[in-house]
Amino acid sequence: MADRLVETESRKLLGRLSAVMAEGGAGQARLDSIVSLIASSMKTEVCSIYLFRDAETLELCATEGLMPEAVHQTRMRLGEGLVGRTARTRQVVNTADAPSEAGFRYMPETGEERYSSFCGVPIQRLGEPLGVLVVQSRDARQFTPDEIYALEVVAMVLAEMTELGAFVDTGAALSARHQQAVMFRGASGQEGAAEGRVWLHEPRVVVTNPIADDPVAERARLRAAVDELRITVDEMLSGATSVNADQVQVLETYRMFANSRSWMRRMEEDIESGLSAEAAVEKEQSLARSRMNRSGDHYMRERLSDLDDLSNRLLRILTGQGRDTGADMPDDPVLVARNIGPGELLEYGKKLRGIVLEEGSVGSHAAIVARAWAIPLVIHAKNITQEALNGDVILVDGDQGAVHLRPEETVKTAFRDKIAMQARALERYASIRDMKATALCGTTVSLHMNAGLMADLPSLKGSGAEGVGLFRTELQFLIRNKMPKRAELSKLYARVMDSADGRRVAFRTLDIGSDKVLSYMKPNDEPNPAMGWRAVRVGLDKPGVLRMQLQALIRAANGRPLAVMFPFIALPAEFHAARAEFDKAMERERILGHPVPETVEVGAMLETPSLAYAPDSFFQAVDFLSVGGNDLKQFFFAADRENERVRRRYDTLDVSFLGFLDHILGRAERADTPISFCGEDAGRPMEALCLAALGFRMLSMRPASVGPVKHLIRHCNLKALRGVIDEARGSGAASVRPAVTKWLTSQGWLM
């Protein structure tokens, strides 16, 4: 009965709040009326609303009970005082003796020392903190769970009203949302700069009716929507194939949440308190996101993320706001998303100017596609999907890992100057497209490109690359929801060779595992997947898949030369086992009477330090080696390349790493085995120049890097640079970068 009374009072309060909103007027006047209403309803001497004026500062925007002159004057940093603690932790702070609480901040201008009891409730929307709702009393008492629940319901409505612009007025804290210039600091997934307009992969769901006065009707709407959601999930489950274990697991989790009685009960209680069905869903979603942000348990974060996705589905059913809003994609779209799979990204095609993700990784499918298309990509741009709106002007700086949303004119001007400089550089590179990368000393370096999609191949001729040093075959597996057939792969590989028009293409066999997981293979939960069951280890444990792919490659060659390499070889035995599978596939094709390749090269990716110390017999057995610089560097320095805290700490031009590469080059030279370097560093002009000076005569990189690398090599003397490198190594320097930078500057190639 007590619960029923509180719920009824809550609904009455929301009804009065709704009336205040309907009256119109300025945002400040509305806030003043609201704090008065809440104080009266809660029977407290004080009610205050604090809103963020910037990401780190809260401002008192309205109060009933504190000194009126403190409004817009009292400010505190995130985490400062009990209000700041509420905002930082996104949890309720409820105390009967506020002045004795650790971290209590005495603010004489507000007069709050007279009040003992304090209850702070975060105002947040979908996990995004917007401010804090506070009530205080002279009596030394803790607020009851029912009172706190009522405040949380009110805070939910305040969050929605803030989002809808109900409190817009003068001053930073009351300025209109989604209109100010905002900069996001993320990480670089792909270099480059682009200007465009936001295109949200999942448009925001806008709740325009947070308050409802008919709980019976709202419960009926909620139940009908949940029933539709359950049917949708059941249909998705029945359509999932038996081999699609990962997808089935996610859908089973969806079904568990969709049938959760506690989830349904909480939303119905929210409706009984006066919220609409949509607002009730969003309230529980916000609480789930808040728990997800606090949880250190990876499994729990994943489950809460599943609930978050399910809530979005339910909100779209209730509001009728699907992904297709009817809006036309702008001519210069920059895709903004929490994350995106390769199949979805490929549907957008090359029309994207840039990509910005809240999540993602430097080795993710999205990053691989972005590099192939030379599209600037920024990852880890936290909360950008909550701030960006379709059509917003956006600048993507893939070089610095920065994003400017709704930038000011001065920022736009500087950014456009940067893009213009890059365009002029590309024009210079076009003039040397058909020339060799021959240094002033007469040394020629063969520059090849990395690829993984048919769409990459037109870049082969336009970039000036001499061939494909690495064709990633896993992308064709990743963009499907079931295992591709041998005939499909054979046709694809044949088209790749046709497009190469006689140029060499080195096909890397399936490199899955780590951050590349097939949706139709059972996930392998590993504490360190980068060093786990991946690449050739999967191929040797599942030889049927490896054999099928090797047969497809042999048939695609159709008598033409074929180059194949196996990834992530750590022991010679792994290469010999994989080579044996290739030989069996060749013999089978001969028996079947199919044409076999005119010439065959079977090589290995050298990505593990162990392989650098393999016996001489291994270096003599391989037809060629390709140093996989990305993995090799992370294992050499024990620095996860997905971890921004450590990956940039270690320099490719560190003398120890260069010494290690020198050792590898020496082993290959003594065995007369061709060797190349493939990876991000091969496409960075200074690093590429040093690799060439060290002795690599073949480099493989993204297509857009071929021009800059070729330009620098053609204007430098590699033998002279080798002398600079050796002198720096002999001097005891930790890295040769300072010496090389100084030398390039003296040559006029760095300003």
| pLDDT tens sequence across 224-235 | 988 888 887 777
**Above 50 in pLDDT, residue 516?**
yes
The total number of residues written for the chain in this structure = 751
Local structure of 98: helix, strand or coil: helix
Q: For residue 2, what pLDDT band results from cuts at 50, 70 and 90? A: very low
For 490-503, b/e burial (b = at least 16 CB within 10 A) is: bebbbebbebbeeb
Write out pLDDT tens, residues 621-651.
999 999 999 899 999 998 887 776 777 788 8
Higher pLDDT, 174 or 443: 443
Cα 751 from Cα 743, distance rounded (Å): 11
Cα 641 from Cα 647, distance rounded (Å): 5
Q: Containing H/E element for 161?
A: helix 145-163
The domain 432-747: what is its CATH number?
A: 3.20.20.60
**Above 60 in pLDDT, residue 3?**
no
CATH homologous superfamily for the domain 182-203+327-422: Phosphohistidine domain (3.50.30.10)
Cα 627 from Cα 662, distance rounded (Å): 12
Average model confidence (pLDDT) across the chain? 84
Written as one letter, the residue type at 197 is R
Helices 718-730 + 655-670 axis angle, to 10:
120
- 3-state SS of 613-647? HCCHHHHHHCCCEEEEHHHHHHHHCCCCCCCHHHH
- Which letter does DSSP use for residue 451 in this model? E
Write out pLDDT tens, residues 166-204.
787 777 777 777 778 888 988 888 888 899 999 988 777
Per DSSP, helices labelled H in 558-628 are 572-591, 616-621
**The two three-digit tokens of residue 344, written as one number:** 């979805």
**The two three-digit tokens of residue 16, written as one number:** 């009065």
Local structure of 689: helix, strand or coil: helix
- Which letter does DSSP use for residue 333 in this model? E
Contact 339, 359 (CB under 8 A): yes
Which CATH class, in words, describes the domain spanning 9-164?
A: alpha beta
**The two three-digit tokens of residue 171, written as one number:** 């001053």
**Above 80 in pLDDT, residue 10?**
no
Q: For residue 64, what pLDDT band results from cuts at 50, 70 and 90? A: very high
**Above 80 in pLDDT, residue 575?**
yes
Cα 446 from Cα 434, distance rounded (Å): 12
Cα 175 from Cα 28, distance rounded (Å): 11
Write out pLDDT tens, residues 375-398.
899 998 988 988 888 889 999 998
Statement: 215-319 belongs to CATH 3.90.79.10:
no
- What's the confidence (pLDDT) of residue 285? 82
Helices 215-239 + 298-319 axis angle, to 10:
120
Local structure of 137: helix, strand or coil: strand
Angle, vertex CA 57, rays to CA 53 and CA 61, nearest 5 = 50
- What's the confidence (pLDDT) of residue 363? 65
**Across 527-547, average pLDDT:** 79
The alpha carbon of 225 is separated from its chain's Cα centroid by a whole number of angstroms, namely 31
Phi, psi of 163 (to 5 degrees): -60, -35
Q: For residue 711, what pLDDT band results from cuts at 50, 70 and 90? A: very high
- Minimal CA–CA distance to 195: which of 331, 349, 354, 420? 354
Q: Exposed/middle/buried for 576, CB within 10 Å: 0-12, 13-18, 19+?
A: middle
**The two three-digit tokens of residue 41, written as one number:** 């309803």
Written as one letter, the residue type at 228 is E
- What's the confidence (pLDDT) of residue 1? 35
**Above 60 in pLDDT, residue 84?**
yes
**Across 24-37, average pLDDT:** 84
Count Cα neighbours of 133 within 13 Å in the Cβ-side half-sphere. Answer: 28
Contact 599, 645 (CB under 8 A): no
Which of left, alpha, beta for 464 (phi over 0: left; psi -120 to 50: alpha)? Answer: left
Written as one letter, the residue type at 45 is E
**The two three-digit tokens of residue 349, written as one number:** 């095609």
Write out pLDDT tens, residues 647-705.
778 889 999 999 999 999 999 999 999 999 998 899 999 999 999 999 999 999 988 88
Domain spans of the chain? 9-164, 182-203+327-422, 215-319, 432-747
**Across 401-422, average pLDDT:** 84
Longest CA–CA separation in the chain, Å: 95
Cα 500 from Cα 498, distance rounded (Å): 5
Q: Containing H/E element for 524?
A: none
| DSSP output for 189-232 | EE--EEEEEEEESSPPPP-S--B-S-HHHHHHHHHHHHHHHHHH
- What's the confidence (pLDDT) of residue 4? 43
pTM > 0.85:
no
Strands (E), 21-96: 46-54, 57-64, 75-77, 93-95
